[in-house]
Chain A
Amino acid sequence: GESVGLHLPTLSVQEGDNSIINCAYSNSASDYFIWYKQESGKGPQFIIDIRSNMDKRQGQRVTVLLNKTVKHLSLQIAATQPGDSAVYFCAENDMRFGAGTRLTVKP
């Protein structure tokens, strides 16, 4: 499944599918981007980051893609699990967060 972040704040996927969460940023001078996961009742938790000199960075089951030309960031989660259900935020290096996307994983 795919989300457009601010325009589609909810993404529902089937367990085992891949998820793609998108984020548009406005400041072309931003050079550091972070994805956070916020579970219910908890503070946001760092997932993965990427600097502007990279286009792609991979972690465990997660990949972040950065397209500086169109100022777009995406988070891909492979083989989505119920434990991935949360709100996902992108953030730029000026500490401001996007609106967030709620990911719901259906068993």
Chain B
Amino acid sequence: DSGVTQTPKHLITATGQRVTLRCSPRSGDLSVYWYQQSLDQGLQFLIQYYNGEERAKGNILERFSAQQFPDLHSELNLSSLELGDSALYFCASSVRTAYNSPLHFGNGTRLTVT
């Protein structure tokens, strides 16, 4: 058990809708990262937050947004959903930044857009 909790585990929704994915990092970890993994694909880095502030941005669409709250949990908001957004979305956390410490991943939220 990595200590990172993601909810919900599964989400099925229709095109055009909006969903929110939630992540609770490991106790003590200040950094939260979001990744997208399509079927049999690699992990695409979306965005990183450190202690409430956006630290780095990857290939995140404008329809997607995220935030990290004072209690350090994070939410990823996906809007105007398209079929191609169907994927596994992983949250990871680390003590500091990815520059000098490994990431600890949750087990993901599987999003299906129909």
Interface residues of chain A, those whose CB is within 8 Å of chain B, are 32, 34, 36, 41-46, 49, 89, 91, 93-100
Contacts and interface: CB of A to CB of B under 8 A. Distances in A.
B100 A93 contact: yes
Nearest to B31: A95
Given A32-B99, A93-B99, A43 B56 contact: no
19 contacts: A42-B108, A43-B2, A43-B4, A43-B90, A43-B105, A43-B106, A43-B108, A44-B43, A45-B105, A46-B102, A89-B43, A91-B98, A91-B103, A93-B100, A94-B56, A95-B33, A97-B42, A97-B43, A99-B42
Determine the interface band of chain B, counting residues with CB < 8 A from chain A. 20 to 34
A49 B102 CA distance: 8
User: Could you tell me the dominant secondary structure of chain B's interface residues?
Assistant: loop
Contacts, number: 55
Nearest to B35: A97
